[in-house]
Every structure is written in C-alpha cells, then in structure tokens.
C-alpha cells in the first residue's frame, strides 16, 4: 500500500499511484454492492435479482472487452473451460450472497464473503500438502474470532438458525475459492482475465435468465424498481472486478502523473 504513495519534492505533494486509486474504486464498488442489494430485495426476490445483476455486470464487461481483449489472441480450449465455469460461477455466488444479505444484513454477509483467501489456504494445505506457518495460523484464528464477534450479538434474535445461516456466505466464499484455481488453469492458456470474465458472466447470465423465466411462470413477482436496484448492484460489482484487474495490472508502475 505504502509503496504506491510517495512524496514529490518538485510539487511538494504526495503522489498516489494509479494502482492505489483503482484499488480504492474496487473497494468502494464492492462495498456499495452489498448496501444496494438491501434496496433491491425489497422489491424482488434474490433469485430474480441475480438474473438482473449478473447480466448488468456482463454488459459492462462487453463494453470494456473491445479495449481489453484482442480476439486474435484467444484460445478455444480456455474459452470452453471458462464457459463450463460460467454454468455455475458467478451465478451461484450471486444467489448465495443476495440470500445471505437478505437474511443476515450487508455487514455480516460482506465480512463473511470476504474470507475467500481462507479457502485458498485450506485448499493449498489439503491438495498441495503445504504446511501452515505460525503467522497464517494466527491470521486464521483472528478471522474465526472476527466472524464469531460479528454474529455474537445477533444470537439473541437469530436463535438456532444462526449456524446454518452462516453457511450461506461461507459457501459463497468456498465456491469462489474452489473456482479460482480452475480459472487460473484457463488463464495459463489464454492470459486475459477480462476475456475469462466476459465468457463466464455471459454463460452465467444465460443460465440465470432462463432460470428466472422458468421461475416467473410459477408466480414469482417481477418489479422494475427491484430490477434497477439489482442492475446497479451488478454495475458496482462489474466495476469492482474491472478496477481490481486494472489495479493488479498497474501494480508495477508507481507513477500517477507520468
């Protein structure tokens, strides 16, 4: 973080690298997405909300794609892998996040959905046989304590449902943790994360829209206001992903005004 902020003697000001600015945009967008979801589910259920949110993110990725994806550099095998991932990701993650946001509120859902790195560490230990260092054990203990603290006070109103309610955002984090190594495999063949996002999100959008159409025939109510709120959530999440990849790409160049 601090390597991205340096003092310019010439201008007498602190210069913040563009990577830091992009990371801040990503942080704000991810955070705002959780709060906006609260407005969306007042009008439509999370299942319909996901069918509005993910296509909105997809639209944003398609708008960015001509500038960030060179079609000639594509790999058919990687595209097929991304399409297969798209059948369940990010659709399931969106559904789990929206449902946990509705049941637990944005703060607990947000905190629990951010623990994806924990599953990456668990996978590394289980599959790759990596050993846990003492600092990692300490970090995991802190995360467990933090999660317990967020849920503690609400125990009075949640009763026995608390434990399985925690499973929803934890499952969302687990799905993201599991999918990441598979996406990395595809990125080895076609090293373009935006192309991966475009394909995964397009397939997921199709799955969610078809599912919502089938669901709507069984009487689920659709409201335009809810659709717009969830579309805003999708734009926030899409912007967060784009800004995150851009920040990672710019991470090596420290200059902001060059």
Positions that interact with another protein (CB under 8 A): 1, 20, 23-24, 26-28, 30-32, 34-35, 38, 105-108, 110-112, 114-115, 117-118, 121, 133, 135-136, 138-143, 145-153, 240, 244, 247
Nearer of residues 18 and 208 to another protein, judged by Cβ: 18
Q: What is the dihedral of CA 201, 39, 149, 114, to 10 degrees?
A: 20
Nearer of residues 48 and 104 to another protein, judged by Cβ: 104
The least CB distance from residue 76 to another protein, in Å, is 32
Residues 64/194, Cβ–Cβ less than 8 Å: yes
Nearer of residues 28 and 83 to another protein, judged by Cβ: 28
Whole-number Å distance between alpha carbons of 186 and 183: 5
The least CB distance from residue 84 to another protein, in Å, is 27
The least CB distance from residue 109 to another protein, in Å, is 8
Q: Which residues of 15-44 are buried (b: 16+ CB within 10 A; e: fewer)?
A: bebbbbbbbebbeebbebbbebbeebbebb
Nearer of residues 21 and 206 to another protein, judged by Cβ: 21
The least CB distance from residue 15 to another protein, in Å, is 17
Whole-number Å distance between alpha carbons of 60 and 205: 13
Three-state secondary structure call for residue 219: coil
């Amino acid at each position: 973080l601090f390597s991205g902020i340096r003092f310019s003697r010439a201008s007498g000001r602190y210069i913040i690298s563009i990577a830091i600015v992009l990371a801040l945009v990503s942080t704000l967008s991810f955070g705002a997405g959780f709060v906006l979801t609260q407005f969306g589910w007042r009008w439509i259920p999370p299942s319909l909300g996901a069918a509005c949110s993910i296509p909105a993110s997809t639209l944003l990725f398609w708008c960015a794609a001509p500038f960030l994806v060179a079609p000639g550099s594509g790999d058919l095998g990687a595209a097929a892998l991304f399409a297969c991932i798209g059948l369940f990701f990010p659709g399931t993650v969106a559904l789990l996040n929206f449902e946990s946001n509705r049941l637990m509120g944005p703060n607990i859902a947000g905190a629990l959905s951010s623990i994806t790195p924990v599953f990456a560490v668990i996978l590394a230990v289980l599959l790759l046989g990596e050993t846990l260092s003492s600092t990692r054990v300490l970090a995991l203990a802190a995360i467990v304590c933090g999660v317990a603290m967020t849920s503690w006070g609400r125990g009075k109103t949640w009763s026995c449902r608390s434990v399985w309610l925690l499973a929803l955002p934890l499952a969302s984090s687990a799905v993201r943790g599991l999918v990441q190594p598979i996406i990395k495999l595809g990125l080895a063949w076609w090293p373009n994360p935006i192309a991966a996002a475009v394909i995964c999100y397009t397939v997921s959008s199709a799955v969610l829209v078809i599912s919502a159409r089938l669901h709507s025939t069984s009487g689920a109510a659709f409201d335009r206001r809810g659709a717009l709120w969830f579309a805003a959530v999708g734009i926030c999440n899409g912007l967060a992903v784009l800004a995150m990849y851009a920040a990672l790409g710019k991470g090596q160049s420290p200059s902001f005004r060059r």
